[in-house]
Amino acid sequence: MTLRPTFLGLPIELLTDLMKQLESTDILHLRQTCKHLFGVSHERSIWLYLIYYYLETIQPRAHWPDQSIHLYNSKQLELMVLQPFKVKRRWTIKNIKPSLNRPIKLTNKAYVFHLVTGGRRLLLANIQGKILCIDLDAPKSRARTLIPSLYGTKFRVITRISVDMDDKTLSLAFNITVKNTFFELDEEICDPLDGLRPIQIWRVTTAVDKTGFANGSTAQHLAFFYEEAHLSFHGFVLYKSLVAYSVTKHIPDSDDWPLYAAVVVPWAKASTQDLSYERMIIRTDTSLSPTIICTNSHLT
């Protein structure tokens, strides 16, 4: 009688090493073949390996863990690995009807919105310049203060923000730059900064409790520099150590056309109390709005 070869006699270590070489969807298919492989496919080491593999090979990144990767169990790692495939399949289904899960209630009007890469955190800016953060995965979507306003509730400001994700960290982390511009009426009443407007840089990471588990987000102030108040801003982008924005300068009592320029600032070197910092000014004939800074630091 000839015995048919099976996986039962192979060590679990060998089977897990073999499964690490498969795509995640192939592991799910293999899981359906027998009880032995079903059990092996739930080994935490397999899904931990795939998380690291995808983080290193897939760009843009599909996974932004909210806490240390070592705090996730096997099931959580598996769900994290499979989530991008589920999202892709949902987007390709024909005649899908999106549904409203729950409304988000705000105590103050929000004028700027930014959905952080990963789809869990929504950033808002209200009329006082306060930056709020909403955890969309939380049972109740509450807006929590992430970055306080520089001006309290006395002034109304227009806020611009730009977010730069940190690809070098395993857990979710990003830098955010904040620029406030006063409404003209409020600026005529009082100018608290004597003609200067600060541009702030903050570092946002996941806050953890005593046990190391995620508990919201926290922001650390990195730097700020000033720009002239009478400039009109049209574009705003942050990338690594650079901030780029476009400006229009109207010359009082002059028949000349407004001056247009794109400005690039190395923000880490520009943290100062005046305008004496290094910056690159690119003059143009028309107004430009930079949308991205390439990896070679060329403005586009």
pTM over 0.85: no
Residue where the block lists tokens 């089977």: 15
Which pLDDT tens digit goes with each residue over 27-85?
999 999 888 889 999 999 999 999 888 888 877 777 778 777 888 899 999 998 888 77
Alpha-carbon distance of 25 to 82, in angstroms, equals 8
Which pLDDT tens digit goes with each residue over 286-299?
666 665 666 555 55
What pLDDT is attached to residue 162? 92
What pLDDT is attached to residue 78? 93
CB contact burial 170-207 (16+ within 10 A = b; e otherwise): ebbbbbbbbbbbbeeeebeeeeeeeeebebbbbebbbe
What six digits make up the tokens of 90?
Answer: 């949902």
Q: Is pLDDT at 200 greater than 50 in this prediction?
A: yes
Domain residue spans of the chain? 12-85, 110-284
- Arithmetic mean of pLDDT, 86-114: 75
